[in-house]
């Protein structure tokens, strides 16, 4: 005796087997052989090169500003927490932070110059 509920599942089973049989198989010489490695084509997937359009330059400028704020806060805390009798390590840390602030500020200014050099851009982002 055939159960009627089984007949309701028959179209789904037929669809499933059709989809599974129709799936393309990779082109390998034998089923147990691994697929040959594909050459990387990251350049074609990358889209526009970074740093040439306005949106990526704005993102870079905002990143530098956030980094600059973070470094300035770290420098402020290091200078505030350090007493008048600073150790050599504290002095070196403050000098390192001052240098990082200077370099990050230069990077932000360079990015801003690149933004302003784009056609139609004359003010800050």
Number of domains present in the structure of the chain: 1
Does 125 map to a domain? Answer: no
Q: Is 45 helix (H, G, I), strand (E, B) or coil?
A: helix
The tokens describing 51, both together, are 């740093």
Does 8 map to a domain? Answer: no
Does 88 map to a domain? Answer: yes
pLDDT of residue 68: 92
Whether the predicted model's global pTM rises above the 0.85 cut: no
Supply the range of the domain harboring residue 63.
Answer: 50-117
pLDDT in tens, 72-116: 999 888 888 766 778 888 888 889 999 999 999 999 999 888 888
pLDDT of residue 78: 85
**Nearest of 112, 4, 14 to residue 64 by alpha carbon:** 112
Distance CA 60, CA 107 (A): 9
pLDDT of residue 24: 65
Overall average pLDDT of the 41-66 stretch: 71
Higher pLDDT, 43 or 85: 85
């Amino acid at each position: 005796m055939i159960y009627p509920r089984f007949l309701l599942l028959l179209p789904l089973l037929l669809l499933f087997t059709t989809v599974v049989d129709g799936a393309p198989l990779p082109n390998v010489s034998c089923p147990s052989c691994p697929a040959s490695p594909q050459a990387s084509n990251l350049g074609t997937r990358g889209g526009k090169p970074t740093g040439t359009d306005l949106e990526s330059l704005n993102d870079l400028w905002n990143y530098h500003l956030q980094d600059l704020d973070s470094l300035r806060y770290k420098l402020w805390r290091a200078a505030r927490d350090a007493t008048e009798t600073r150790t050599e390590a504290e002095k070196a840390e403050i000098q390192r932070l001052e240098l990082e602030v200077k370099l990050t500020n230069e990077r932000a200014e360079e990015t801003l110059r690149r933004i302003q050099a784009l056609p139609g851009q004359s003010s800050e982002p």
